[in-house]
Amino acid sequence: MVSNTEMIKGFDNPEYASQQVFRQVMNAMARPGTVVDLPDVDTVGSLHTASMALCLSFFDYETTVWLSDGLKKNELFNQTLQFHCGCSITENPSTAGFALIGDLMDLPSLSVFSPGNEEYPDRSTSVVIQVDYLSHMGGVRLQGPGVKGDVRLDAPVFTIDFLQQWNENHQIFPLGVDVYLACGRQVAVLPRTVMLGDVRCM
Amino acid sequence: MNSAEQMKTMDIERRRRWIGLLAKATLQELEQGWSQIESKPEYTFIRVPETGQIMIRARTGGVGPQFNLGEMTMSRCAVRLANGYIGFGYTAKHQKRHAELAAVFDAMMQDPVYRSMIETTVIEPVADREQHKRSVSATKIASTNVDFFTLVRGDD
């Protein structure tokens, strides 16, 4: 009857912290390229603090989540999701409400995820990708609604291949996935409306 | 069922009983039990005490399809003792402290060091009180018991 002694705790103040996450992510979504800080929280293994904060705030018993290989194998993380969020894990990325990519190596093509449908474009998959750095210095140029002036974002995810996939994703608006880049406690959002281009330092 | 599984089922049954009793205890009973512990264990929250609504689901006659019966208030909490035992507390009240203490006692009940003490100071008194409550209401009901019977009719 010995319980798992490693089980991690959730937010110290769930109401306050999760509303802070919603507020910050909403700002990041409205102003693509903005890097916001999320509240601090304990985390598991290779999971970044921001990813954990997103999970604890966004996932509930009605959420289906697709996990990349590395995360799927992380027993403790799966238990934590089960305990704190009660979300269901799916093997099929095209039905997932959220996808969590622990490592860029595990990132599948964006087209495997659900772009939503004509009646409900909001039912697309929100893809959370963990990256090793997020910076305003150099990188790709963002254009579109909510972007004023020369806004740039640099992260290891912006490969030629990814930019092409992103372009295709942008073309199918109002359908398409939204991407959350998580690094440490920071998050930047790429809504489907944003255009990426003009790579300066790659 | 092999013996290991049997052990597990027994453990689950026993834990189910004490978690149930901890939920039915009054806050006063729990506080009293807590104050009697000399070396109180240190604990941290895995899930901070919170109060919310839960949906009660039911089946007509226990067999029909599930439907939402209604909502009720509930407080819950999960703690981890310094020695690693994890406890869960639930109560059908708007009482975070109750959920917290119930969780701590659940964790302590799993720890052989504390078990017998918690059993005598908290669990059994609650069990006795519940038993007493039940027998009182059973007696009350029994006194108004009516046996219906029908005389044989139609025969001359």
CATH label of the domain that carries residue A88: 3.40.50.11310
- Domain encompassing residue B100: 3-140
pLDDT tops 60 at residue B139: yes
Question: Tokens 């290989």, residue?
Answer: A69
Total structural domains within chain B? 1
Is residue B62 in a domain? yes
- Mean pLDDT throughout B2-27? 88
Q: How far apart are CA A173 and CA A168, in angstroms?
A: 9
Q: What is the pLDDT of residues B41-62, one digit of tens each?
A: 999 999 999 999 999 999 988 8
Given a cut of 90, whether residue A89 has pLDDT beyond it is: yes
In a domain, B153, yes or no: no
Domain assignment present for B145: no
CA B123/CA A36 separation, integer angstroms: 49
Split into its structural domains, chain A has a count of 1
Q: Does the pLDDT of residue A1 top 70, yes or no?
A: no
In a domain, B90, yes or no: yes
* Residue A137 reports pLDDT greater than 90: no
Residue A137 domain flag: yes
What pLDDT was estimated at residue B9?
82
Interchain CB contact of B50 with A (< 8 Å) = yes
A8 within a domain of the structure (yes/no): no
- How many residues comprise chain A? 202
Reply yes or no on whether the pLDDT at B75 is more than 90. yes
| A197 pLDDT tier (thresholds 50, 70, 90) | confident
Q: Does A2 touch chain B (CB under 8 A)?
A: yes
Q: Which of B44, B50, B86 sits opposite A3 (nearest CB)?
A: B86
- A44: its two tokens: 């598991």
Supply φ then ψ for residue A164, to 5 degrees: -65, -45
The reply to whether A19 touches chain B by the CB within 8 Å rule is: no
Does B32 reside within a domain?
yes
ipTM: 0.71
Q: Quick check: is A6 in a domain?
A: no
Locate the DSSP E strands across chain A.
36-37, 64-67, 88-90, 98-101, 126-130, 135-143, 151-154, 178-183, 186-190, 195-197
Pairing of strands A98-101, A126-130: parallel
Residue B148 lies in a domain: no
Residue A1 lies in a domain: no
In a domain, A2, yes or no: no
**How far from B94 is each of A14, A83, B98, CA to CA, in Å?**
17, 22, 9
Q: Under a CB-based contact definition with an 8 Å cutoff, are residues A183 and A130 in contact? A: yes
Whether B154 is in a domain gets the answer: no
Q: Is B28 on the interface with A (CB under 8 A)?
A: no
**Percent over 70 (pLDDT), chain A:** 95
CA angle A97/A98/A104 to nearest 5° reads 145
In-domain check, residue A147: yes
Closest CB to B110 among A1, A9, A83 = A1
pLDDT at A202 > cutoff 80: no
Q: Is the pLDDT of residue B63 over 80?
A: yes
Q: What is the mean pLDDT of residues A96-114?
A: 96
Which two tokens mark A31? 């102003």
State yes or no: pLDDT of A92 exceeds 90.
yes
Given a contact cutoff of 8 angstroms between Cβ atoms, the answer to whether A135 and A153 are in contact is yes
Confidence of residue B37 (pLDDT cuts 50, 70, 90): very high
| Structural domain for A166, as ranges | 14-197
Q: Which helix or strand (DSSP H or E) is residue B58 part of?
A: strand B43-59
